[in-house]
Every structure is written in C-alpha cells, then in structure tokens.
Amino acid sequence: LPLDERLKRRIIDGERGGLEADLDEALAAGRSALSIINDILLDGMKVVGELFGSGQMQLPFVLQSAEVMKAAVAYLEPHMEKTDDGGKGRIVLATVKGDVHDIGKNLVDIILSNNGYEVVNIGIKQPISAIIEAAETHNADVIGMSGLLVKSTVIMKENLEEMNTRGVAERWPVLLGGAALTRAYVEDDLRALYTGDVHYARDAFEGLSLMDRVMT
C-alpha cells in the first residue's frame, strides 16, 4: 500500500506496530505533521466513525483506533511548528459532562498551545461547576467546551444557561466544538440564550482563528 493509505489503515485497523516508522517516513518525505493529521489520520477516524455507526465495527475496536490516533498525534506533536510562548491569552478547555471523547479537544489544545495560547486542559466528563471553577482559578480569558454526543449539545445549552444564572456569562466568551454540534444550533439557538459571546468552531483551526478574534 502507498504510505498515505497505510497510515490511514493503521487508524482504521487499530494497528500500532510500525506506526512510528511510517510517520517518520511521511515526515522525511516532507509532509508536515499537521497535514499528516488532517489529511490522512482524521480521514481514517472518519471511516471508523462510519463503520461504528453502521454497526460494522464494535466498540473495543473503535477504542483501539482511538489509541493509535492518540499515539500518532503524540508522536507528531514535537514536529509541529511552534510560534510563541503562551502570551496571547488563556483558555480553559474541557469535554462536557457525560462525554469521554477527547481526541478533538486534545487537538485543539495542541493547535492553540503551539500558536501562542496557554491552555488549561481539565479533561473529560467535566460538569459546568468544575469548568467555571477552573476558569476562576486560572483567570481564563475564554472557556472552551467540546462534546461529540448529541446529548452533549444539550449539556452545552444547559451549561450556558447555568453561566447566565451565575452571572458569569459576560466574563467568559465561550468556544464550542464537536461533531454533533452545528453552526446553526450554536449561532442561532445558543447565541439567542447566552448573554455573553458564544462561538462555534468546526475544527481546531477555526478554534484558533476565533481565539485570535476574541483576544484582539
């Protein structure tokens, strides 16, 4: 198989052996770490999602694919271009209550960290009280929430309502992302109820450009 196809298959098959050698080969061929992630590996994860969604792949295998994806991203991270030092602003990042999906959130962390932001990544299954507490403690400029389940889109709505109730909405612009969200849901429905700023990021790069916009 050609290298791109081989790497993609590794994600789909959850095959970790020889992963580093293939990644090295892609880097040596002049591919950037980000292009390997975006153009090859994420394509593989997409197939995994389709196979799982259609009942052709069982959960333990999805987990294996996720592990290979994470290992690949960790291996590639040192090869990413880093601009500056975290002085552009601070964001608290979490996957919302009841949701364990963190590959996307961690990609957002890497992209923001490598582009001048300080990221306080508090992990998965975080209730809004913990997110607000971390934002207080770390004096965050922005709160970022990720969630992939349809259920998580409802949790995000409840979280924004809770922030309104606590009177902290004006303090923190919120960045939302994750596969089950739509731009319309965030920009029409959620924006109508949240008294602060709320933005939808389709991917980590839109997350970065939104951070740049919010912080200027």
Question: Does the annotation list 65 as a binding residue?
Answer: no
Question: Does the annotation list 98 as a binding residue?
Answer: yes
Which residue, 21 or 60, is less far from ligand B1M as judged by CB? 60
Instruction: In the chain, count H helices and then E strands.
Output: 11, 5
150 binds ligand B1M (CB under 6 A): yes
CA distance 144 to 181: 14
What x-and-dash track marks residues 185-214 binding ligand B1M by CB under 6 A?
Answer: ----------------x-xx--x-------
Helix, strand, coil percent values for the chain (each to nearest 5): 55, 10, 30
142 binds ligand B1M (CB under 6 A): no
49 binds ligand B1M (CB under 6 A): yes
Catalytic residues: 99, 101, 152
62 binds ligand B1M (CB under 6 A): yes
Instruction: Report the DSSP beta bridge partners of residue 145.
Output: 94, 176
Q: Kindly state the smallest distance separating residue 14's Cβ from ligand B1M, in Å.
A: 10
Binding ligand B1M (rule: CB under 6 A), the pick from 23, 33, 66, 198 is: 66
Binding ligand B1M (rule: CB under 6 A), the pick from 14, 44, 104, 116 is: 104
Question: Does the annotation list 99 as a binding residue?
Answer: yes
How many other C-beta atoms can be found within 10 angstroms of the C-beta atom of residue 54?
8
Question: Does the annotation list 129 as a binding residue?
Answer: no
- 130-165 b/e with 16+ CB inside 10 Å = b? ebbebbeeeebbbbbbbbbbeebbebbbebbebbee
